[in-house]
A and B are shown apart, each in its own frame.
Chain A
Amino acid sequence: MAAGAAEAAVAAVEEVGSAGQFEELLRLKAKSLLVVHFWAPWAPQCAQMNEVMAELAKELPQVSFVKLEAEGVPEVSEKYEISSVPTFLFFKNSQKIDRLDGAHAPELTKKVQRHASSGSFLPSANEHLKEDLNLRLKKLTHAAPCMLFMKGTPQEPRCGFSKQMVEILHKHNIQFSSFDIFSDEEVRQGLKAYSSWPTYPQLYVSGELIGGLDIIKELEASEELDTICPKAPKLEERLKVLTNKASVMLFMKGNKQELKENGELLPILRGEN
């Protein structure tokens, strides 16, 4: 009986009831993998996923599993942008390293196993990974003359600040490429450290951080935005460049090798008859 009770206690998933308790937990469990289940009592899938978690807890005693009623602790839910339940967050060293939205038991199992066994406690492996990440971030920030790291995409922004940023860039006809930081947790956290900048969206020009929405708004107000960011070429500009490309320019249908409708003109220009 005693053994059974002990087993039940180990497998039980602790409930986190406040933001303070959550912060404390992050600190306490920094050395191991912490999995947090954001749930709601009215969602039946959450009950099922709790059972899955309990099973995983039995199999992997070195991993900490907790659950948090999303609507009961809104500051934590809002901070991590929990928009639906169940949502699972994975923490190591008090840092969020992964996320799973939805009741996908096999996916949860896979992620837990992967993070539990990943060698983030080996210093040499860590250094190697950090160097690769920095190189990757350097390449990403230089991927285009103007790079926007945002939440979501320009077509579907997933945060108010990112949406405003895209609107300003479009309004000023600025040419930029974008990266959805929701698509890659490693980049999302890594870039914050790389640039010592804690928030998104982040705008880069020639690989250098210009700033976030506040700064872009101030640059817009002081009319400096146009000088700092590259513009998308307007049609008039493109035509000007093209018509001046050579002393004589022929705008035709098809190219010189494949004569089509303007076939009569070419021989004349070439001096043939």
Chain B
Amino acid sequence: MELSAEYLREKLQRDLEAEHVDTTLNRCSCSFRVLVVSAKFEGKPLLQRHRLVNACLAEELPHIHAFEQKTLTPDQWARERQK
């Protein structure tokens, strides 16, 4: 299975109706860092948000060596960008 940042980005964008997705390769070719901004995260505690991401990438995660994620609602992201 060819895992590319682009592939993950598209999947996350589709499944989570994300407003914005950033995927970057970390230290090696199977280590990723993602930022997902989605209205679906509204009202959900962090653990639930991360579970949504994990569920979306359920097939891919076992093949990923290291995975870091940041989950924001559109409001939170707007505030972060202003800083």
Contacts and interface: CB of A to CB of B under 8 A. Distances in A.
B65 A79 contact: yes
Contacts of B61: 198-199
Contact of A219 (B46, B65, B68): B46
Contacts of A219: 46
A211 B46 CA distance: 8
Q: Interface residues of A: mostly helix, strand, loop or mixed?
A: helix
A210 B28 contact: no
A199 B46 contact: no
A78 B65 contact: yes
Residues of B in contact with A, size category? 10 to 19
Interface in A184-222: 196-199, 209-215, 218-219
A215 B50 CA distance: 8
B1 A218 contact: no
Interface in A1-52: 20, 23
Q: Which of A20, A74, A79 has the most CB of B within 10 A?
A: A79
Given A196-B51, A219-B46, A214 B69 contact: yes
B30 interface: yes
Contacts of B1: 20, 23
Residues of A in contact with B, size category? 20 to 34
B54 A78 contact: no
A193 to B, nearest CB: 12
Nearest to A79: B65
Contacts of A23: 1, 63
B70 interface: yes
A78 B28 CA distance: 9
20 contacts: A23-B1, A75-B28, A75-B29, A78-B28, A78-B30, A79-B63, A79-B65, A196-B54, A197-B51, A198-B54, A198-B62, A199-B67, A209-B47, A210-B47, A211-B47, A214-B69, A214-B70, A215-B47, A215-B50, A218-B70
* Minimum-distance CB pairs A-B, first 8: A215-B46, A79-B65, A211-B47, A198-B61, A78-B65, A75-B30, A214-B69, A214-B68
